[in-house]
Amino acid sequence: MFKSHVEALRRYARFTELYRQRDRAAQRAIKPLHPDPASWPSDRITVAWLGHSTVLMRLFDTWVITDPVLGRRVGISLGMVQVGVRRLTPPALRVKELPPIDLVLLSHAHFDHLDIPTLRRLPRSAVVVTAPYLGDLLTRFRDVRELAWGETTRVGEIDIEATPAKHWGARMLRDRHRGWGGFLLTVRGRRILFAGDTARTDALRPLAAGGAVDLAIMPIGAYNPWIANHCSPEEAWGMARQLGTGAFMPVHHSTFRLSREPMAEPLARLHAAAGPDASRIVAATLGETWTMR
């Protein structure tokens, strides 16, 4: 197992340097927007993509953030230095610009989803809902709730169900016991799916029995060559269609160099897959705000 991880790191280093120049052109094309959470209404659902899998949501009176990663790098912290993958595009908001967060959703322990430096700057009073066996990484928070797939909890008026995913959860080489997954949020009759990280799977299909999903937040990047753990844009769109999704919000793209596909490719392929339904793709631009009607 150790040798396979070392070889994976070597491959990552080779293709990172190879694609660095290509990424620069894509970075220049990205013009981040700056959300203004203070202007978001409290009688609706409003969301904004802050980068990678970090989404800020106002669900009526509750502020929610998913997989908060807002630093310059993700990886291992060595004192004051963080060693790991460099961010290609800045976050749409810095931590100090966030509203007071009430609820944190953490899909799994990978460094690009569970970032300790970012979490340390969020309110200790925030409720953290996460996958099993992540609690030891989250001791600064007063209320941490680990949910296995199918288990539920309630935060304020939001019902939260842990949903399955085809992925893996280890943070380090030897902690493969950690869980992973996504979350279905139900509030005032609206249903929002944050799928976390997942390859193509039919495991989400049963969620359709509870009614259509109003907003599906789905990962669309890092599929080349990691298709066994990350779905392609076409697969993500297909899974959302199985749920009767009204709006589709793409995440997990255009932020870190985690795979070989060109930086702009996931969004282009997603729009091609959606075809005449591309108007259902929302908040795809970094920092873009979308309000559910």
- Burial status of residue 81 (CB atoms within 10 A of its CB: 0-12, 13-18, 19 or more): exposed
Q: What is the predicted pLDDT for the residue at 10? A: 66
Q: What is the predicted pLDDT for the residue at 291? A: 98
Helix (H) or strand (E) holding 233: helix 233-242
Q: What is the predicted pLDDT for the residue at 155? A: 98
The identity of residue 58, as a single letter, is: R
pLDDT 10s digits, 121-142: 999 999 999 999 999 999 999 9
Q: Average pLDDT of 220-243?
A: 97
Q: Record the tokens describing residue 21, joined without a space.
A: 């120049």
Statement: residue 146 has pLDDT above 70: yes
Q: Average pLDDT of 144-150?
A: 98
Statement: residue 144 has pLDDT above 90: yes
* Residues near 38 by beta carbon (within 8 Å), at least 6 away in sequence: 99
* Residues near 287 by beta carbon (within 8 Å), at least 6 away in sequence: 32, 33, 34, 35, 48, 49, 50, 92, 93
Statement: residue 12 has pLDDT above 60: no
Statement: residue 231 has pLDDT above 60: yes
Q: What is the predicted pLDDT for the residue at 77? A: 79
Q: What is the predicted pLDDT for the residue at 1? A: 46
Q: Average pLDDT of 253-273?
A: 94
Question: In terms of DSSP bridges, do strands 158-163 and 152-155 run parallel, antiparallel, or are they unpaired?
Answer: antiparallel
Statement: residue 17 has pLDDT above 60: no
Q: Please, how many CA atoms are within 13 Å of residue 163, restricted to the half-sphere of its CB?
A: 28
pLDDT band for 227, please (50, 70, 90 cuts): very high
pLDDT band for 26, please (50, 70, 90 cuts): low
Q: What is the predicted pLDDT for the residue at 14? A: 61
* Residues near 78 by beta carbon (within 8 Å), at least 6 away in sequence: none
SS3 175: coil
Statement: residue 32 has pLDDT above 90: no
pLDDT 10s digits, 182-215: 999 999 999 999 999 999 999 999 999 999 999 9
Q: What is the predicted pLDDT for the residue at 151? A: 98
Distance CA 90, CA 70 (A): 8
- Closest-CA residue to 22 (of 109, 88, 105): 88
Q: Output the CA–CA distances (angstroms, integers) from residue 10 to 5, 6, 81, 191, 235, in the order listed.
A: 9, 6, 22, 42, 28
